[in-house]
Amino acid sequence: MNAVLKVSGLNRFFGGIQAVKDVTFEVAPGELKALIGPNGAGKSTCFNMLMGQLPPSSGKVFLNGEEITGKPPRDIWRRGVGRTFQITGTYQSMTVAENVQMALMSHHRRIFAIRPYAYKLYREEAMALLEIVGMADQADRACAILAYGDLKRLELAIALANEPTLLLMDEPTAGMAPKERIRLMQLTADIVRERGVSVLFTEHDMDVVFAHAHHIMVLNRGELIAEGTATEVRNNKKVQEVYLGGGMLFNKEDTHA
């Protein structure tokens, strides 16, 4: 099957420092794939290049066979990529439903419409999306007063507004209580199954990663050092080293590992 997302030979330099080194991978249709790695490994840099926030120094990104390297975020979104952010960026001065309606207006290219009242446009569609993430009962609340976990779910609803083929989720559960994390990822997994969307996400919480990801990629110092299923990654020597330290100080402890 053709890959939804294909990344080949992605590099990014900041000054003299190489933050991302020759990263190559694919995301298959309906796949839930995780990108993990310690702080500063280059996950966010990678993500920002995929979504067009940052141009790569070299390398190419293809979405459904079309090259999208270096295109602005709004173009990439129009081609069917939804995105959620590590720190939510919802519109604080709008209601929950309006946040979704805003994305729908953009999707249906009604942003420059002058006559209609915005709050009436695509209300039904927005409610349907909010229903999916379990936020319909809060549709008319001001976004500014939502709990953090609810904001994250709202962001997911917004990301689904353009009927994406691929969702990019940057640390979707950061800042959430453990129970909420599991709920959100369960929800994401359901969406993947029911709508056939592919998801690529970065994550800190290993419980979340191992419970839901079909495939896991490990990034360290800008390089992909491992890729595989949960068990494969867990048993990978290199990965253990990265997560427990360089091992140059207490070598004797390594025997326990």
Give residue 66's region: left, alpha or beta (phi > 0; psi -120 to 50). Answer: beta
Closer of 1 and 124 to other proteins (Cβ): 124
Q: Which tokens hold the place of 219?
A: 């990034």
Please, what is the minimum distance in Å from the beta carbon of residue 10 to other proteins?
20
Q: Measured between alpha carbons, how far is 48 from 55 in angstroms, rounded to an integer? A: 8
Please, what is the minimum distance in Å from the beta carbon of residue 97 to other proteins?
9
Closer of 69 and 162 to other proteins (Cβ): 162
| Beta partners for residue 199, in sequence order | 32, 167
Q: Measured between alpha carbons, how far is 11 from 21 in angstroms, rounded to an integer? A: 5
Q: Which residues contact 93 (CB under 8 A, 6 or more apart)?
A: 142, 143, 144
Q: Measured between alpha carbons, how far is 71 from 12 in angstroms, rounded to an integer? A: 16
Token look-up 């249906």 returns 108
Please, what is the minimum distance in Å from the beta carbon of residue 23 to other proteins?
18
| Beta partners for residue 202, in sequence order | 35, 170
Please, what is the minimum distance in Å from the beta carbon of residue 1 to other proteins?
27
Q: Which tokens hold the place of 182?
A: 């599991």
CB distance 96 to 140 below 8 Å? yes
Closer of 179 and 194 to other proteins (Cβ): 179
Closer of 52 and 56 to other proteins (Cβ): 52
Closer of 28 and 110 to other proteins (Cβ): 110
Closer of 177 and 190 to other proteins (Cβ): 177
Please, what is the minimum distance in Å from the beta carbon of residue 133 to other proteins?
16
CB distance 4 to 48 below 8 Å? no
CB distance 162 to 82 below 8 Å? yes
